[in-house]
Chain A
């Protein structure tokens, strides 16, 4: 078992640097490879090429091809190998190159990764972090724009993270890899190039904590991944109309921060949850249910959902029509205000 190591809080003397989300994840991987010799990074094209999104750029050169390596194009084998490595004391950080290619590995993820520790009564933890470039927004072909969070959040034994900006991408990845539980870490592809000043810091909030990225008083917009940015755009536009929206970044989709959701919505009394995945049985339903259970007496309106449609993720040119638009979110906000 991993022993608990005291880590000094270095946030105060960490300089602010300008980084894209790609670079922030790269830094996190480099810091993890440095701090723990058991960490291994592997997947299709992550070694020699440095990843199709440059996320693992330079890591093989720095840490060698025994710790950062390419695999065959076989997702089930990548996850099966992760299980074997974890059983033998390693801390694997596999990448499945695109969300849609998690499906060929689903048997290993659901039947082995998620259950091994349960099956062996806690004797065989699976400290695996599956890095999964996720969601749409880059006009990629089929299988390259899926939102699988509901599937993974519904699978007992898995934790699910979906950061929305470079700073969280860094600290959530540190938390995920250091966790002895398997984590599906969903990277919002359309935000990879988002550059901003970042203070790289040790995680300060426990796993399963949400974050208010913009405080407001009239309604709470709830999102994760790339939709946090969309909700921030909506909140800025709503402010021009005198409507003050709070934006809550859920960050962790399993466990979900029920207390954080309740604290926000009890104050604002209205909630709109926004996700890219299709509506039916999406995670928005879970969020709406938690809010209703915990804030029933405070709610001024039913929780609204703004989501993708119940169709397969469309080809590139139709993407702007599929993803929640600014106007669709604004209309949902208006419905809660008028109810």
Chain B
């Protein structure tokens, strides 16, 4: 089965944070990870969060050691995914990131009527 490597960069974990520290990898090179399964726990200046895997695939490379500080936008992990699942942006633009859980700040109050 044809495979293709895709690298996932550390996303902005909210409100303009610039970096995060890798606390604990929850996957190892060679393992297959499901989409949305826990990938890595990182610590930002606000909190420790577990980043879910944006892809289903085999882990090819972890780009940071535990306790290492990673700037937002730097590579975090490289997956090998089935080629037919690998989205191609084409000549212009890029494939939008998957949002495992969209962020929000506004809370609603249900109507009384």
Contact = CB atoms under 8 A, between A and B. Distances in A.
Contacts, number: 69
A266 to B, nearest CB: 15
Interface in A240-275: 241-243
A63 interface: no
A300 interface: yes
B14 interface: no
Chain B at the A interface: SS class: loop
A53 B90 contact: yes
B106 A242 contact: no
A300 B87 CA distance: 44
A337 B111 contact: yes
B46 interface: no
B1 interface: no
Given A137-B96, A337-B110, A193 B104 contact: no
Task: Please classify how large the interface on chain B is, using the bins under 10, 10 to 19, 20 to 34, 35 or more.
Answer: 20 to 34
B92 A52 contact: yes
Given A326-B102, A326-B103, A326-B104, A241 B92 contact: no
A169 B111 CA distance: 35
Interface in A311-325: 316
A242 B107 CA distance: 10
Contacts of B102: 233, 237, 326
Nearest to A339: B111
Interface of B: 85, 87-96, 99, 102-111, 113
Given A138-B92, A330-B104, 10 more contacts: A51-B90, A52-B91, A138-B93, A193-B87, A193-B95, A233-B102, A237-B102, A243-B110, A334-B109, A338-B109
Interface of A: 20, 51-54, 98, 137-141, 144, 189-190, 193, 195, 218, 233, 237-238, 241-243, 300, 316, 326-327, 330-331, 333-334, 337-338
